[in-house]
Amino acid sequence: MYRATQLLTAATLLGATTAYNQRRYIDNSSGTPEVIIPGASSYNGLNLVPQMGWNTWNAFGCDADEELLLSSARHLVDFGLRDLGYNIISLDDCWSIGRNSSGYLVESPIKFPSGMASVISRLHDMGFKFGIYSSAGTFTCARYPGSLGYETQDAELWASWGVDYLKYDNCFNQGQSGTPKISYDRYNVMSQALNKTNREIIYAMCNWGNDDPYDWAYLIANSGRMSGDIYDSFNRPDDRCPCTEAPGCAWPGFHCSIMNILNKMPSITSRTMSGYFNDMDGLEVGNGGQDDNEYVTHFSMWAMNSSPLMIGTNIDTLSPQNLAILSNPAVIALNQDPSAGAAIRKWRYFVDFDDYGQGEISLWTRVLDNGDTVIALLNAGNSSRTMNATMDDIFLDQRTAGAYKAPPELSETWDVYDLWANRMSNEEAQAILDGGGNATVSNATRTETYNATATSYADGLSNNVTALYGAHIGSIAPSGTFTAEIARHSVGVYRLRSQGSGSLRKRDEL
Ligand SMILES: *[C@@H]1O[C@H](CO)[C@@H](O)[C@H](O)[C@H]1NC(C)=O
Ligand SMILES: *[C@@H]1O[C@H](CO)[C@@H](O)[C@H](O)[C@H]1NC(C)=O
Ligand SMILES: *[C@@H]1O[C@H](CO)[C@@H](O)[C@H](O)[C@H]1NC(C)=O
Ligand SMILES: *[C@@H]1O[C@H](CO)[C@@H](O)[C@H](O)[C@H]1NC(C)=O
Ligand SMILES: *[C@@H]1O[C@H](CO)[C@@H](O)[C@H](O)[C@H]1NC(C)=O
Ligand SMILES: *[C@@H]1O[C@H](CO)[C@@H](O)[C@H](O)[C@H]1NC(C)=O
Ligand SMILES: *[C@@H]1O[C@H](CO)[C@@H](O)[C@H](O)[C@H]1NC(C)=O
Ligand SMILES: *[C@@H]1O[C@H](CO)[C@@H](O)[C@H](O)[C@H]1NC(C)=O
Ligand SMILES: *[C@@H]1O[C@H](CO)[C@@H](O)[C@H](O)[C@H]1NC(C)=O
């Protein structure tokens, strides 16, 4: 059932029927013929839903050591974040001092006095996976030794340490880029080296979308960055991030705003799939460059698009507002939905100007695994406004799919659930930060928290757990319009569940 849905989704995502027909083949081995679509599931069986965790770079840059990793891990547990799914501790650049005379990387004895293997083992004992960092170049971006030419040795060492995740950057690549094939070959060497270790290691490519990985990286990696580096601004343009579209971007750069990265996603929507996610880069929530509504928008749109959710702030000093954003299980459940798809931007209109240029509003939709549809009404204009989503727009694809009859969605009544309505209060979040807040209480009667370690999001969704569905705020009649007041630089995220319709029931009875 799940497999069938996944294949159907992938078939839809692949779009043009000719491309689809060329790519599929029939696997008859089980006796029940099945259409297999390459890339519809993970190349190495890992990362069927986007990875979640915490990464050191956005908040700490090079200043990461074992104390930071261990204390952040303790707080992720105490604040309930590990059990919401943030279960990877991802160490970024600047951890080594070079190679020893046998060519193996050596961790800094000042930053990691216990030794990397021992730190990793303690993190494992706390229920985390551990992520290491390197570059597919002669140096890392901060000019520490890179892995180009040392892939086998480095993969062996990391596997022997117990590494579970690799963020693999693109700096100092010696000019080995410029065509998809050249980049593919360079990144594939590490993919093969990781595979040969026989350890399950999630492979997170970080080549900034260079050479259009959208068509090839699913064959060798579990996620791929699709833009230059993020920075903590909602919409400030920056000359160092020159592209506004993902495909063909020759110089991805860095200092890309939330809106810049988000608006690069629509053209590559179909290239997100189970086992390979378009990585919009680590979260900036908590780092101080955006207001609460802007962080809600950032977090919501990363979740809508199945981007990896890697927290990138100082956990030890997390504010209650930011804990409440990162802890919203109804929004995380979108991200972790087995459909593993990205959102479609149905429309975008330009509106009033703000300090950085013309504002815009947009409608994003995505069909989820259980048949629900989620919509996001995004107001990136400079003032609050009433926004409308018509059923015609929400179900545009179903309407225009060339069907010989009207899509059933338009004649159904849809219940609307507001996924931010049960946001944890600041008082409750503060109590959790203070240690008395029962992050540990999580069951169906508690609507603000969830324990994904105990019950997967997929199971929670099947069981209609309240925490994953937000608050019921009304319904949309057949062919109706949904309207909501959306604040400046904010987003409304709503899950629509069909009440069914007469015609559907009739068909079921036949
Ligand atoms: C698949 O199996 C069915 C039933 O055994 C058989 O009739 C059919 O010819 C097979 N198709 C292919 C492509 O092998
Ligand atoms: C280099 O490091 C590797 C991996 O830690 C180790 O097995 C090897 O003994 C080291 N070689 C030398 C010469 O120190
Ligand atoms: C290695 O690759 C094979 C074939 O793609 C896959 O079946 C296997 O699970 C991979 N093993 C690991 C440890 O990644
Ligand atoms: C945009 O809104 C902000 C906050 O309300 C305000 O300070 C600013 O002056 C507005 N900018 C423009 C160009 O209207
Ligand atoms: C939404 O509909 C209302 C009522 O028709 C209208 O006043 C408003 O301008 C519409 N909003 C947008 C953004 O079009
Ligand atoms: C924590 O849970 C216990 C038992 O369910 C309850 O008595 C207590 O009031 C809760 N504390 C907070 C701060 O919510
Ligand atoms: C979540 O569930 C796991 C497994 O049952 C348990 O070990 C952990 O303590 C729970 N965490 C919270 C925050 O309740
Ligand atoms: C669920 O949480 C509520 C509120 O904290 C608590 O009173 C109740 O005992 C819990 N139920 C289960 C089955 O854990
Ligand atoms: C969950 O809710 C849906 C829609 O209301 C319903 O069809 C389904 O039976 C429910 N599942 C469970 C396990 O209660």
pLDDT at site 440: 53
- Which one is catalytic: 169, 279, 281, 337? 169
CATH of the domain at 235: 3.20.20.70
pLDDT at site 10: 36
Nearest alpha carbon, ligand 3 atom 3: 44
Residue 369 falls inside a structural domain: yes
Token pair of 374 as six digits: 């989620």
C-alpha 466/C-alpha 460 separation (Å) is 9
Same-domain pairing of 321 and 387:
no
User: How many other C-beta atoms are found inside a 10 Å radius of the C-beta of residue 146?
Assistant: 24
pLDDT at site 202: 98
CA atoms within 13 A on the CB side of 27: 9
The b-or-e profile of 256-290 (16+ CB within 10 A means b, else e) is: bbbbbbbbbbbebbbbbbbbbbbbbbbbbbbbeeb
- Strand-pairing partners, residue 202, are 165
Q: Could you tell me if 414 and 501 are in contact, meaning their C-beta atoms sit under 8 angstroms apart?
A: no
pLDDT at site 16: 29
SS3 state at 124: helix
Is position 229 annotated as part of the catalytic site? yes
C-alpha 54/C-alpha 299 separation (Å) is 14
Q: Which atom of ligand 7 is nearest to the CA of 80?
A: 13
Range of the domain at 301: 52-342
Q: 29: buried, middle or exposed (CB in 10 Å: 19+, 13-18, 0-12)?
A: exposed
Q: Which atom of ligand 2 is nearest to the CA of 100?
A: 1
Q: Could you tell me if 278 and 214 are in contact, meaning their C-beta atoms sit under 8 angstroms apart?
A: yes
Q: 454: buried, middle or exposed (CB in 10 Å: 19+, 13-18, 0-12)?
A: exposed
C-alpha 395/C-alpha 400 separation (Å) is 9
CATH of the domain at 390: 2.60.40.1180
Same-domain pairing of 68 and 138:
yes
C-alpha 510/C-alpha 505 separation (Å) is 9
Distance 103 CA to ligand 2 centre (A): 8
Q: Which residue has the tokens 């969704």?
A: 461
Q: 16: buried, middle or exposed (CB in 10 Å: 19+, 13-18, 0-12)?
A: exposed
Residue 10 falls inside a structural domain: no
Q: pTM value?
A: 0.89
SS3 state at 373: strand
Residue 208 falls inside a structural domain: yes
Same-domain pairing of 310 and 371:
no
Based on the structure, what is the number of domains in the chain? 2
The b-or-e profile of 370-401 (16+ CB within 10 A means b, else e) is: eebbbbbbbbbbbeebebebbbebbbbeeeee
Residue among 345, 339, 401 nearest 371 (CA)? 339
Same-domain pairing of 296 and 209:
yes
Residue 440 falls inside a structural domain: no
Same-domain pairing of 409 and 303:
no
Q: Which atom of ligand 9 is nearest to the CA of 415?
A: 5
Q: Phi-psi category of 293—alpha, beta or left, where left has phi over 0 and alpha has psi -120 to 50?
A: alpha
Residue 463 falls inside a structural domain: no
Residue among 320, 287, 321, 322 nearest 433 (CA)? 320
200 Cβ below 6 A of ligand 3? yes
Residue 445 falls inside a structural domain: no
- Which one is catalytic: 83, 92, 211, 229? 229
Radius of gyration of the chain (CA): 23
What's the full length of the chain, in residues?
510
Ligand nearest to the CA of 440: 7
Q: Which of 342, 367, 394 is the last residue of a domain?
A: 342
Residue 70 DSSP symbol:
H
Same-domain pairing of 129 and 191:
yes
Residue 256 DSSP symbol:
B
- Which portions of the chain are predicted below pLDDT 70? 1-28, 31-40, 403, 436-446, 501-510
Q: Could you tell me if 196 and 152 are in contact, meaning their C-beta atoms sit under 8 angstroms apart?
A: yes
Distance 464 CA to ligand 9 centre (A): 6
Q: Which of 342, 371, 386 is the last residue of a domain?
A: 342
Same-domain pairing of 166 and 190:
yes
C-alpha 170/C-alpha 205 separation (Å) is 9
User: How many other C-beta atoms are found inside a 10 Å radius of the C-beta of residue 291?
Assistant: 14
Ligand nearest to the CA of 96: 2
C-alpha 233/C-alpha 252 separation (Å) is 17
Torsion angle (degrees, nearest 10) of CA 212, 218, 222, 226: 20
Same-domain pairing of 324 and 407:
no
Residue among 463, 495, 448 nearest 80 (CA)? 448
C-alpha 208/C-alpha 462 separation (Å) is 36
Q: Could you tell me if 488 and 381 are in contact, meaning their C-beta atoms sit under 8 angstroms apart?
A: yes
Same-domain pairing of 197 and 292:
yes
Residue 18 falls inside a structural domain: no
Same-domain pairing of 283 and 352:
no
Cα dihedral across residues 497, 304, 494, 483: positive or negative: negative
Distance 190 CA to ligand 6 centre (A): 49
Q: Please give the C-alpha separations between residue 366 and each of 71, 108, 306, in angstroms, as whole numbers.
A: 37, 45, 10
Distance 67 CA to ligand 2 centre (A): 24
Q: Which of 289, 317, 342 is the last residue of a domain?
A: 342
Same-domain pairing of 201 and 350:
no
Residue type present at position 207:
N
Residue 229 DSSP symbol:
P
Same-domain pairing of 297 and 395:
no
Residue 62 falls inside a structural domain: yes
C-alpha 215/C-alpha 281 separation (Å) is 19
